[in-house]
Amino acid sequence: DIQMTQSPSSLSAFVGDRVALTCRASQSIGSYLNWYQQKPGQAPKLLISAASSLQDGVPSRFRGSGSGTDFTLTISSLQPEDFATYYCQQSYRTPYTFGQGTILEIK
Amino acid sequence: QLHLQESGPGLVKPSETLSLTCAVSGGSISDSSYYWVWIRQTPGKGLEWIGYISVSGTIDYNPSLKSRVTLSVDRSKNNFSLKLSSMTAADTAVYHCARLYSVGYYPLDYWGQGILVTVSS
């Protein structure tokens, strides 16, 4: 299986901060990388597909970048509703595996 | 707006078979652009891929669970189902169903909220 490693595992930040969450694949996955946001008790929500394609309705402060093995999700100006857990997922080869998540907490 | 809703027992005894159903509303399960997916989530192992099925009969199971998993689709009821046999405590998890867009980069564009299944005698 392709292993996905996210860092940091948790992050504290202020409203208005710019943050970068990283995701590394154990082998090259091209741009087959998706990002999800999950809030407690809710279903994960797709934010970005194909490494950098923003889903309809997702604010433009979210940006995805990278290819190959190294990927980044950047949130340019944190809003209160952005505090959640973020997961990356590779869709290059089944089983489509997930990172362990980054918990983004308000400082 | 598509909506996915899992249903089934919240408590299963060890060695029994888990049966879950995902009801799809706001869209057709027969749309050939999509696969229908099961994923489970635990605090320890995070999000774990179980497998997917399409209405055309394409099926893919996680090799780690393949010997115990069966997925099926019911077009007439617009739902799909998961069976997981020989349940143990390690199978205690929140089980999510989701839709996978089978064109391009295969994102999971809609998820159900999940159902907590506990394995205990």
- Give me the mean pLDDT over the B68-97 stretch: 97
Q: Chain A partners of B107 at a C-beta cutoff of 8 Å?
A: 34, 46, 49-50, 55, 91
Cα dihedral: B38, B40, B46, B48 (round 10):
-40
Exposure string for B10-46, b = 16+ CB within 10 A, e = fewer: eebeeeeebebbbbbeeeebeeeebbbbbbbbeeeeb
Q: A56-88 pLDDT, tens per residue?
A: 999 999 999 999 999 999 999 999 999 999 999
Two structure tokens written together for B86: 């020989």
- Residue A80 one-letter amino acid: P
Q: B75-85 pLDDT, tens per residue?
A: 999 999 999 99
- Give me the mean pLDDT over the B89-97 stretch: 97
Question: Are B96 and A44 in contact (CB < 8 Å)?
Answer: yes
Q: B7-63 pLDDT, tens per residue?
A: 999 999 999 999 999 999 999 999 999 999 999 999 888 999 999 999 998 999 999
pLDDT number for residue B12: 98
Q: A21-65 pLDDT, tens per residue?
A: 999 999 999 999 999 999 999 999 999 999 999 999 999 999 999
Q: Chain B partners of A23 at a C-beta cutoff of 8 Å?
A: none
Number of H helices, E strands in chain B: 0, 11
For chain A, the three-class secondary structure string (H helix, E strand, C coil) is CCCEEEECCEEEECCCCCEEEEEEECCCCCCCEEEEEECCCCCCEEEEECCCEECCCCCCCEEEEEECCEEEEEECCCCHHHCCEEEEEECCCCCCCECCCEEEEEC
Q: Chain A partners of B49 at a C-beta cutoff of 8 Å?
A: 94-98
pLDDT number for residue B44: 87
Two structure tokens written together for B31: 């749309």
List, in sequence order, every residue forming a beta bridge with A88; answer none if it has no partner: A35
Cα–Cα distance for residue pair A101/A93, rounded to 1 Å = 20
Residues shown for chain B? 121
CA distance A45 to chain B (A): 7
Which of A49-58's residues contact partners 24+ apart within 8 Å by CB, and which partners? A49/B104, A49/B105, A49/B107, A49/B109, A50/B104, A50/B105, A50/B107, A53/B105, A55/B107, A55/B109
pLDDT number for residue A81: 96
Among A32, A42, A46, whose Cβ lies nearest the Cβ of B108? A46
Question: Are A50 and B96 in contact (CB < 8 Å)?
Answer: no
Two structure tokens written together for B10: 């919240």
Q: Chain A partners of B64 at a C-beta cutoff of 8 Å?
A: 95
CA distance A15 to chain B (A): 27
Among B46, B96, B106, whose Cβ lies nearest the Cβ of A91? B106
Mutate to test the interface with B, among A56, A96, A97 (most CBs of B within 10 A): A96
Two structure tokens written together for A86: 């973020």
Q: Which residue of A has its CA nearest to B106?
A: A91
